[in-house]
Amino acid sequence: MNIKRAIRTTAGPVALILGWEMLSVLLPPGWAPGPVRTVETLVSNATAGILWTNLADTVRRTWLGFLIGFGAGVLVGSFMGLRRLGDILLEYSIYIIMTIPSLAWIIIAILSIGPNEYAGIAVTAVIIFPSVVIAIREGVRSLDKGLLLMARSVGSSTSKILRSVVIPWIYPYMFGSARYAISLAWKLTVITELVGLPSGVGRMLDLYYRRLDMEQVFAWTLAITLLILVIDNVILKNVEGVAFKWRKQAGI
């Protein structure tokens, strides 16, 4: 039974690669380079070193932007969840940040900050910020009020309550929103690079799009997709496993 299932789950990616190969054969040449050509191009980029420098730029921008936006989002979200005043005051600001299209943020950031590192990081941070705020606010709101009262009545300080009641409670909300935010952050960084940064995967996609070089477009797409898949599914899952170890120990 399990073997059957494993076969079926691997059948998907295998079918995808086969379909890709078939497309590349059926379509007019230059439309869709096949898997072998793409991997070859990818490898030659890797040996030339241009793959690593650009990937590193993209990874750095994504993670810095993510960390800043996420940190700010957790702080503001907790504030809005705990204090009704903060919630009412900031609600529209959050909604407006969300409504402004990401492309407009990108253009505004590049024009006012300049085509540099800071613009890329700022865009990513600003755009993921509202989604984190909303998730954390919901988490804090769902907090058991009785637990808070109890902690207060046994004389815990506010910082102690935050540390040992509020933060563990919103852990799952934090991870949920972090997963969403990081997947968004990748895409945003690539778009920002494409619109106006001097390096990174997005820059390369734009460069080869202008030259109509489909092999390179495919190679860079493959590189970033693999990277995202690995980081999201392997690394984040492991971090989550470590962070939730206490749950298993507590028998939850």
Partner 1 sequence: MKSGRSLTSPIFLRLASVAIPVTVWQLLALLFPERLIPGPIPVIDTLARNVVTGVLFTHLLDTIRRVLTGLLLSLMIGTCLGLLMGIRKFFNDLLDPIVIILVSFPSVAWAVMALIWFGLSELSVIFFVVAICSPVFAIGIREGVRTVDSDTVRMARSFGHTSWGITRSVVIPTIYPYLLAASRYGLGLAWKLTIIAELLGMQSGIGYQLGFNYGVLRMDQVFAWTLSFAIVILVSDTLFLRMLERHLLNWRAEITT
List residues binding partner 1 (CB under 8 A).
5, 8-13, 15-16, 31-32, 84-85, 88-93, 96, 99-104, 107-108, 110-112, 183, 186-187, 190-191, 194-195, 201-202, 205-206, 209, 212, 214, 217-218, 220-221, 224-225, 228-229, 232-233
Q: Residue 83 — left, alpha, or beta (φ > 0 → left; ψ -120 to 50 → alpha)?
A: beta
- Which residues 6+ apart lie within 8 Å of 46 measured at CB? 52
The b-or-e profile of 70-97 (16+ CB within 10 A means b, else e) is bebbbebbbbbbbeeebbeebeeebeee
CB of 40 to partner 1, least distance (A): 18
Please name which of 198, 201, 207, 191 lies closest in space to residue 101, comparing C-alpha atoms: 191
Q: Which lies closer to partner 1 via its Cβ, residue 174 or residue 195?
A: 195
Cα 108 from Cα 116, distance rounded (Å)? 13
Location of structure tokens 């206490």: 246
CB of 249 to partner 1, least distance (A): 30
Q: SS3 for 45?
A: helix
CB of 160 to partner 1, least distance (A): 23
Alpha helices in 114-166 (DSSP H): 117-141, 145-153, 158-161
Cα 143 from Cα 145, distance rounded (Å)? 6
CB of 213 to partner 1, least distance (A): 9
CB of 171 to partner 1, least distance (A): 23
Q: Which lies closer to partner 1 via its Cβ, residue 96 or residue 167?
A: 96
Please name which of 205, 219, 207 lies closest in space to residue 38, comparing C-alpha atoms: 219
CB of 66 to partner 1, least distance (A): 15
CB of 94 to partner 1, least distance (A): 9
Q: Give the number of other CB atoms < 10 A from CB of residue 140.
A: 21
Q: Which lies closer to partner 1 via its Cβ, residue 173 or residue 218?
A: 218
Q: Which lies closer to partner 1 via its Cβ, residue 135 or residue 168?
A: 135
Are 35 and 21 a contacting pair, CB within 8 Å? yes
Q: Which lies closer to partner 1 via its Cβ, residue 75 or residue 88?
A: 88
Location of structure tokens 């990748």: 186
Q: Which lies closer to partner 1 via its Cβ, residue 154 or residue 212?
A: 212
Q: Which lies closer to partner 1 via its Cβ, residue 163 or residue 215?
A: 215
Residue 234 is inside which H or E element, if any?
none
